Every structure is written in structure tokens, then in C-alpha cells.
A and B are shown apart, each in its own frame.
Chain A
Amino acid sequence: MTALRAEGVFKVFGRRPNEAVRRLRDGASREDVAGLGTAAVIDTTFEVTPGEIFVVMGLSGSGKSTLIRMLNGLVRPTAGSIILGEHDLAKVSAAELRDIRRKRVSMVFQHFALLPHRSVLDNAAFPLEISGVDKAERRRRAAEALGMVGLDGWEDSLPSQLSGGMRQRVGLARALAADTDVLLMDEAFSALDPLIRSEMQEQLLELQQTLGKTIIFITHDLNEAMHLGDRIAMMRDGRIVQIGTSEQILTEPADEYVATFVADVDRTRVLTAGSVMVRPKAVVFAAAGPHVALRQMRDEQVSAAYVVDRNRKLLGVVRDQDISAAVRLGPVALVDLTRDEVSAVSTDALLAELFAPAAETPLPVPVIDARGRLVGVIPRVTLLDAMTPTTAEVAVVDPATDPSDAYPIAVGPDLDTELDDLRLTTTGDPR
């Protein structure tokens, strides 16, 4: 099912747009057709599924603003079709277009676009006024929308009396009051301070959980795109170069451009534990004895192992020195030696949330699924590795040549196991 579909959409501004489209279809570049017009959007095809946040990400001049304006007919495509429900926005009449805008698709603007002489309530009620909803009803629904964005009590204020973040909340409430399935957000948070911006992002995600709108969000901020987007379309020079989830774009960039772009992203806020975890090496079933556990640790050259039950549910961790001490005193069950102090993380935890658990213990951080089963572990090396972009060269600082450098940038991949080896030797063989 699709909420909105764009097929082979072109937009060329200028004197001879159709000729430009023909040449672009024949493989001409944006520069080749510059004499015929400005090709803002070139051969763009994508689908948006109901209830998803679809982010279009691109720098200025990439055509993203033109693209979003074609999705509600503010700009008519030169070629191609935009299917919204049963309508093709490229073909509808002006009256039909107005009807679609009233019922199907609303918009939030970068600079809020509020009416300065109208109260906050009347601004939020504006779309309903346009649709011909009677006064009492539209004021009630507008007040409800203002409540959703946390602006209760500000109904009678004027927009100029509000801060930027609050004004954009009015813009959001206005779009929500229209109660359309599709919500277009054109750089909606770009004009806000960073702190207010992330606050608004959280609020949008929160609202989206209950409302389940289809949101098409335009931004030039990749971190924002990755944070909000269920899927992201990367735009460059009028074309969509890649569509995918933030993890796909981060880990499998379609081309050099996307790769250099994502190099700066705070990967710890995009990648999840599930995407970087590795297969746990030392895992013992609780039913197995202490000796089995010890042998397994020795085989894997580690000093501790995770203990799981029959369903692979994580029970805790067991250490070699505990086992060796206990078996000297007599037979003992593995469960009694298991410590439950490990802090496991879920598969969808962001890497940023993993630093604290990783710092608490020298062991790899265990990753569990929704049912508490151990599905993988994240050693510290993996965590550090995942933060480095795939394309970037890893700089290696040799401590010998630069003794003043107390923090080598790169660590050897075997550091963890080396430490574990050390511990194994000091503990000695229990038998």
C-alpha cells in the first residue's frame, strides 16, 4: 500500500522546459540543459508508505524544496506523475487541487508562515476556516490541536508574542487541525535553535506514535534526517541518489557523494546494537557444569562466559576465578556462580547508549532481544570500530614514535583477548 507515489517526476523552470526534459531523459546532465532552463528535479521516483516518516535530505540547490512543493501542487511537475490516492497531482484541475489540499495533504513551513495579525487559535483554525467548518467547531478542533503540541493557554496570544519554537508548534498545530493523512514538512525545524530543534524532533516522534500520519520531511541536516526518518531519500543535483533506512545509508552508501556526506554523521545515534553486534563466543548453558564452562573459556581464550537458560535467555555472567575457587571446595551448580550484574542492551539500542554499559565491565556488552534471549555481544573494539566511517582511513599513531601521545587513536583488534589472556595466566589452571 502506498500513501503517495512519485513516478519519473521532472521539474524544469525556464523557457523551454519540455525540450530540457527530453534531453535529460536522453541522458543529458543538469549543466547540459542549463541553456533551456533550470532543472530543479530530475527523473524522481519514490513511494511513501502510510504511517512512515519519509525524509528527503539534500543540500540547498538539490531540488528538495521544489520536490516537496510538487507533492501538494504548489509547483506543477513538468513531466511525470504524482499519485495521491486516486488523483494524479500533475493532471488535476485547480478546483480539484484545492479540494485535495483541504482534505488530503497539509504542510508545515520553514519560517512558520503564520498570519501575524491573527491569534494563535485563529491561525491554527485557518485551514478549517478555508474548508468551511463553522466557527465553534473549528475553534474546538484548533484548540485540540494546540493542546496536542503543548500550547494550551496560548490561544489568544499573537504569533509575534511567541518564541520561534512555539511559533513552529502553532504551524504544526495548524497542519494537525486540518486532519489530513499526509503531512509535508519543509525544513520545519531548520530555523530553530539546536536545543529547541531536538526538542521539536522528539515531540514530532512522540506525536507520530499516536497519530500515525504519513510525513514527508525535508531537511539539509543529515543528523536530523537519520534521527527522524524511517527511510531517507538522498538528493543531489535534482536527482535522488539513494533511498534507504538510515542504517543502510550509513553502512552501504550508494556512491562516493553519499559516503562523504555520511562521514560526518554521529554514527552512535544512528547505528543500533543489533546492527554491529557479533556472535557471542563464550556462552554456556546453565545446565552444563562448571568444568564445561571453564573448558569453553579456555578454548575461546576468555576469562568469563555468559550463562543462558534452555531458551537462550540471558541469566548472567560467570568468571573463571569464581569457578576455580568454587570447584576446589566441592561440587557446585553453575547457576550459583552466575552473577547477574551484567547490563544487557536491547537490539534497537543506539550505540550512544552503549558507552556506559561498555565502561562498566571489561566483558563485551551482551545484546538481548525482546524476549530476553542473548542474540549477540558487542566488544569494545567493535563499538569503536563501528564509529569510524567505512571509507575513512584509520589513522594509526605509534606510541613509540610519539611518547607524549597518551591516547592512541587506534587500538589493535586483539586488545580485549590480550587482556583476557593475561587474566587466564594469572588465574592458572584449576585442574
Chain B
Amino acid sequence: MLRDITIGQYYPSGSVLHRLDPRVKLFWTLLYIVSMFVFNTFLGYVVAGVTLIVLIKISRVPFKFMVKGLKAVWMLLIFTLVLNLFMTSGEVIWQWKFLKLTREGIRTAVFMGLRLFFLIIGSSLMTLTTTPNQLTDGLETGLRGLKKIKVPVHELAMMMSIALRFIPILLEETDKIMKAQAARGADFDEGKFKDRVKALVPIFVPLFVSAFRRANDLAMAMEARCYRGDVNRTRMNPLKYKQIDRIAYLLQFVYLAVLICADKLLAPLLTKVLPML
């Protein structure tokens, strides 16, 4: 049951996107998320949507696989949609008792839904094409500047990568503890919510004890291998920008420029021709 959880799942397909520098991808994602709040017209959605479709095609990650990972957020998406659909005031076009459907409501619901959808797919595209290690590496190198203001960038990145390394181990351990307790009659699936939460306490206690023991062992092993923080440390594969990364950076600004042009210049023109939009 617990094994189904995959965090930072990676889909190897060896595409151009996979080979990009993680810093480029992080910046792309950030820019894409920010761009979601920049535009407000139909044309803006077209630009953002087409860009995303092109990127998905390039990544060669099957769209089905991406959507499958979204199970958890479907509820949120539907909730947002329904809320926007019925709660927006404006010109009423359909009414049943207290439920009102307005023109503005439909518009906001569709657009909000799309926006959320783009946001989620866009960021999962990054985690699907970047290994967790590359991601922490990218964060560490990308945020190196923050060291000057005493942000422990290296330590944070190290913590993150160790956490990622131990997630599967601790999940397996939780599974083992749960089975051991189930074998002695513990019941995790039945009873009131309160009882079920209570049944989890005896799982967490041994889990924490073992996690601390592991942490202690790991710290000793790291010290034995001469780890002393970010002192005089080198990397096996230091991140280096290649030509393709520079092009990718350039394309980000092209995307932003096209988006703003489409949204602020073209869209008002179009609106005059097609007042519906």
C-alpha cells in the first residue's frame, strides 16, 4: 500500500529536456508558474497551453503517465471548478433553486481550471524529467549566491538529498512495522477516525526510534568518510552550462515576450472583432 507512493518520480526517456541543466529547468518552471498570473485573456491561455504541449512532446513522457500522477489533485481541481462555477456573481443564464450559473462564472471556472491544470502539469514535467539528485544539485549551485547572506545552501541541499535517499527505506520500514503489528491484532482500517489515528501512534514510535538510530549511524559513516560540510569540497560532475542550456534560457524569455504580446496587444485587437472573448 505504501509502496505506491512515489515522490519526485522520474520518467527516463533520454530526451533533450532530460539532458538540460537542472538550473535551467528550475528557472523555466518558476517562470512558467509566474507567467500563469500575468495573462488574463483567451489568447494568453492558448500561448501557455501550446508551449506546454510542445514541451510535453519534446520530453517524450506519455501524457497518460503525467495525468495518472495527478489523482491526488483531481479533487482540488473539481472543487475549484464547482466553486467558481456557482459562486461568481454576474449575468445569470441558468438557475435552479439556490444554484445560479452565470456567464462570468463559467468563464472564471474554465480559466481557473486551465490555469491550475497548466501549473500542475508544468511543474510535474520538471520532476518527471529531472532526477532528485540533479534537482538538489541544481538548487545548490543555483542558489550559491545566497551563501553570502549566510543561508546554509549546501547543508540544505545535503539534507534534501539524504531525505530523498531515505524515503524508500523508511517507507519499507513503516510497512514492516505495520505488518508486525497487524500480525499481533492491530487494526488500522476499521473503527472511528479517532481510533484509527490512535492506532497509528504505535507505528510512529518505533519508526522514529529507528530513524534516529539510522541518522546517528549515517552521521558517523559520513564523518568516517571525511565529510566536514562545505569545506574544500569538489564535485564529481559539477554543473556546467552547455550551448543547449543557453538556448533554453533564451527560449524562456521568448516565451514570456510572446505571452505578454499576445495578452496585452493582440488580445484587445481580437476582442474588438470577436466580442465573445
A and B: partners?
no
